[in-house]
Chain A
Amino acid sequence: MTASHWESELRVHLVEAGIEAVEAVELARDAAAEAEAAGLHPDSMYGPAVAYAATLASTVRRASVTAAPLARELGAVVLRVSGVTKAYRRRQVLREVDLTLRAGEVAAIVGANGSGKSTLLNICAGLTRASSGSVERTSRIGYAPQHDGVSALLTPAEHFRLFGAVYGMSPKKSVALGTRLAAQLGWRPRKDVVASQLSGGTQQKLNVVLAELNRPDLILLDEPYQGFDQDSYLDFWDQVFRWRDGGAGVLVVTHMLHDLDRVDHVLELRPVEES
């Protein structure tokens, strides 16, 4: 591969990773110029273009999150869970859970397997009824469960059109918006691939894009186990805080316990003892 081929590879991969075209051109040109000045082939200086693009893209994305922390104003309450209890037959899963989340806040639900985290998320989304207690929520919500959110035989673009239709968007606008949101997650959906052929991390990105398509005031999501991709675990949280700074309330079921000092509320669930 020639140096200029490497440069154009890098540019293409940067754009695929969600970097604006103008910036991608500049980053690729700088990288090639430094290699030329050093008398080295860019591949031996930086490694493969695809891997280097991922490193640069995550540097750019992370910087855009931390560069200018916005002054946060707490908005209206977007979710209020009061005294929620859930039992399946005689097995109690949740007992007396309370949580208030405002626009511009992030809450994390933590707890061991079987402590009812996903059940609580479903109750907040209105998909599961609480046995007692009350849930009030804003009308525009986005919900990205860990599983079951995507249809195996539809392409990403078909998902965007389908979900866009639910929110009253035109097919063209739905696809354009979905594609743009995907790019923010470093993903460029291919036209000829259906959801079942996507990796687990990419399926979760599709879920997240669908959850965001209607510009929701409340976002409920299950953190992907491995992050979206290996090595980019942090990008998931960058995205969470970007939504928050955009004014949404975000509720995340999380399996990893670091990084919780940046969230506003931590709700720890414990398995309810048999009674």
Chain B
Amino acid sequence: MDASTRQHWLHGFLDLCLLALLAERRDYGRGLAERLADAGFDDVPGGTLYPALLRLEKQGFVRTEREPSVTGPPRKYYELTDLGHAAMRERRDAWQQFRAAMSTVVEGASRAPNGPGSVR
């Protein structure tokens, strides 16, 4: 499957992924990008990642803090607010329902390999 379709999928779930990673622990932008890559996602371009973080900040889901770094410019750290934790739980529940529905449909289809499309 081509990478752009996978990008498109991740786009729809990126906010939830970031909320979930930040619920685990606070992090800075590149740290989050690395954790997404470690989880098996394709590289998330900066032009997608940072606007998503800005959106979460504007929505009041994360607060930010700059900390000096020994290797370069100060790092901007992101941390979930109480509102962000609540949003994460709500979206996680919605995701679980969605995932169950997807499994029923997609994996149901794979059990009938010849499917109903083979008429004539």
Interfacial residues, chain A to chain B (CB-CB below 8 A): 27, 30-31, 33-38, 40, 45-47, 51-52, 55-56, 59-60, 62-64, 66-67
Give CA–CA (A35, B49) in the complex, Å.
12
Asked if B116 is an interface residue, CB under 8 A from chain A, the answer is no
Cβ-closest 6 pairs across A and B? A63-B58, A45-B46, A33-B73, A46-B47, A37-B72, A59-B51
Q: If the complex has contacts A45-B47, A46-B47, A59-B51, are A37 and B58 also in contact, measured as CB distance less than 8 A? A: no
Give CA–CA (A40, B59) in the complex, Å.
29
The total of Cβ contacts below 8 Å across the A-B interface reads 57
Interface string of B42-53 (1 = CB under 8 A from A): 000111001100
Residue from A35, A60, A62, A67 in contact with B46 in the complex, judged by beta carbons closer than 8 Å: A35
- Chain A residues with CB under 8 Å of B72's CB are 33, 36-37
| Structural contact, A55 and B46, CB atoms closer than 8 A | no
| Structural contact, B50 and A34, CB atoms closer than 8 A | yes
Q: List 5 A-B contacts (CB under 8 A).
A: A35-B46, A36-B72, A37-B30, A38-B46, A63-B55
Residue from B45, B46, B60 in contact with A34 in the complex, judged by beta carbons closer than 8 Å: B46
| Structural contact, A37 and B71, CB atoms closer than 8 A | yes
Give CA–CA (A60, B75) in the complex, Å.
21
Q: How distant is A73 from chain B, measured CB to nearest CB, in Å?
A: 24
| Structural contact, B47 and A52, CB atoms closer than 8 A | yes
Q: Please classify the interface of chain A as helix (H, G, I), strand (E, B), loop, or mixed, using the class held by over half of its residues.
A: helix
- Chain A residues with CB under 8 Å of B74's CB are 33
Give CA–CA (A239, B29) in the complex, Å.
31
Asked if B54 is an interface residue, CB under 8 A from chain A, the answer is yes
In addition to A30-B76, A46-B47, A67-B60, 13 A-B residue pairs with Cβ atoms within 8 Å of each other are A33-B76, A34-B29, A34-B50, A34-B76, A36-B73, A38-B46, A51-B47, A55-B47, A56-B54, A60-B54, A63-B59, A64-B58, A67-B58
Tier of interface size on chain B: 10 to 19
Closest to B46 in A: A45
Residue of B47, B59, B60, B75 with highest tally of chain A CB at under 10 A: B47
Residues of B17-59 at the interface with A, using a CB-CB cut-off of 8 Å, are 29-30, 45-47, 50-51, 54-55, 58-59
Residue of B50, B51, B55 with highest tally of chain A CB at under 10 A: B50
Give CA–CA (A203, B64) in the complex, Å.
39
Asked if B69 is an interface residue, CB under 8 A from chain A, the answer is yes
| Structural contact, A66 and B46, CB atoms closer than 8 A | no
- Chain B residues with CB under 8 Å of A36's CB are 72-73
- Chain B residues with CB under 8 Å of A37's CB are 30, 69, 71-73, 75
Closest to A33 in B: B73
Closest to B54 in A: A59
- Chain A residues with CB under 8 Å of B47's CB are 45-47, 51-52, 55
Give CA–CA (A30, B51) in the complex, Å.
12
Closest to A29 in B: B73
Closest to B71 in A: A37
- Chain A residues with CB under 8 Å of B58's CB are 59-60, 63-64, 67
| Structural contact, A38 and B30, CB atoms closer than 8 A | yes
- Chain B residues with CB under 8 Å of A64's CB are 58
Give CA–CA (A20, B35) in the complex, Å.
33
